Amino acid sequence: MQEKEIEKRNLKKWFFARAMLIILFFAILRYAGLFEALGKFNDIILPIYIGMALAFLMNPIQSFLERHWLGVWLKKPKKEKTEKRIRSFVRTVCTLVALAVIIACVAAFLLLVLPRFIETVRYLSDNLYEKIVGVVDWADELTNYQFADVMERTRTDGRIYVWIETAENWLKEYLQVSTTDDLIATATNYGIKLGSLVVDALIGMFIAIYLLLLKERYKGFCKRFLYGTLSLDRANQVVRTVRKGNELFYGFIIGKLIDSAIIGVLCFIFMYIMQMPYMLLCSFIVGVTNIIPVFGPYIGAVPTVILIFVTNPPQGILFLFFIILLQQVDGNLIGPRILGDSTGVSSIWVIIAITVGGGLFGFLGMLLGVPTCALLLYIGDEFVESRLKRDHLPVDPTVYCEAREMKREE
């Protein structure tokens, strides 16, 4: 009987492996068509993605408010129906407040940062030549006019205009807007996409509200489906994996958001004290790019240092030293205090996760690459550990470092 069960299990694995090979073959054969279909599918269900992301961000706020407000409303014992109504009312209010907090953060960005960014770009494009000449004057003064002839030729021989024109041509080529018609077409295209994104965001808000209002019920339905379709051990394994994934993503993303907000505020305070230009814009860039592990601080430092340097070179150099010091404080003090060992992923895996995630999915891939990698490593470790236990082999990896051959444990 046991041999028949083993044979049946092996036959299922055989069919599954060959089915996967056939699917992989047709996926490679129809690579372009497959990714085009996936792109259209993603566009269709984009509101669901937005709703799930909003629910993910709103859930900690909702849970925090609900814990505190329920205690106030349910101080005295209530009838069962009354208590149920109070719980429903409090949850609805907490959900709407959580959504209002997220909308307020987005609105603050649109009202405070975005106009400054557009104003700064327009100002620099109109006065770029004067800014570069100012940097040349500062360098001339710094070298005590030892290279006055070279500096004067730089100002008068037109090479600055050549640099600016080269940069403009590269930017036009990158954005594919070489003519006025291309510019109008690109602006129209982005306008349509922006309008579609607004509609998707509105739908996503309603999805997020419904998900949070009935999250226990949806959680129960999902678990019921798992235990009804999988074996008990497999279902338990999926539940543990989902719980671990939830822990990893919340611990990393929420922690990173708090950490980056602190870094942005510290940057703004320093720039305000030193009366540096573009305080709000540079602080926002430093804070947002700090969300990306390892590479984020350097990505944010380059444009902000250049932006300040072309306006005031000494302050640009001072800001560069401040950013280096700030990132050291964040990496060794602030970050570990907030994040702790939220992922448990070594440095090499962090770099691989960011590189691969960024290459495939851009900024979002860089942000989610580390917790995704941590979850995949956890799944792989669980799989290997279960196989080792099944074959009565040691689980501790240090045992395998010096061993040539392994024997089953008694």
More confident residue, 359 or 16: 359
Residue ranges of the domains in the chain? 13-37
159, two tokens: 């090479």
Among left, alpha and beta (phi > 0; psi -120 to 50; other), residue 108 is alpha
Answer positive or negative: Cα dihedral of 345, 346, 349, 353.
positive
Say how far apart CA 31 and CA 12 lie, in whole Å.
28
Q: Quick one: pLDDT band at residue 100, thresholds 50, 70, 90?
A: very high
Measure the CA–CA gap between 285 and 75, rounded to whole angstroms: 45
Which uninterrupted H or E stretch holds 268?
Answer: helix 232-273
Q: Is 236's pLDDT higher than 80?
A: yes
pLDDT in tens, 308-344: 888 888 888 899 899 888 888 887 777 666 665 556 6
Lookup: tokens for 204: 């996503």
Q: Quote the percentage of the chain above a pLDDT of 70.
A: 76
230, 238 contact by CB (below 8 A): yes
The one-character DSSP state at 179 is S
Distance CA 11, CA 21 (A): 16
pLDDT (mean) for 260-283:
88
CA distances from 132 to 128, 187, 238, 240, 314 (A): 6, 29, 59, 58, 14
pLDDT over threshold 80, residue 81: no
Q: Which of 8-17, 169-178, 274-283, 351-360 has the highest mean pLDDT?
A: 274-283
Model confidence band, residue 353 (pLDDT cutoffs 50, 70, 90): confident
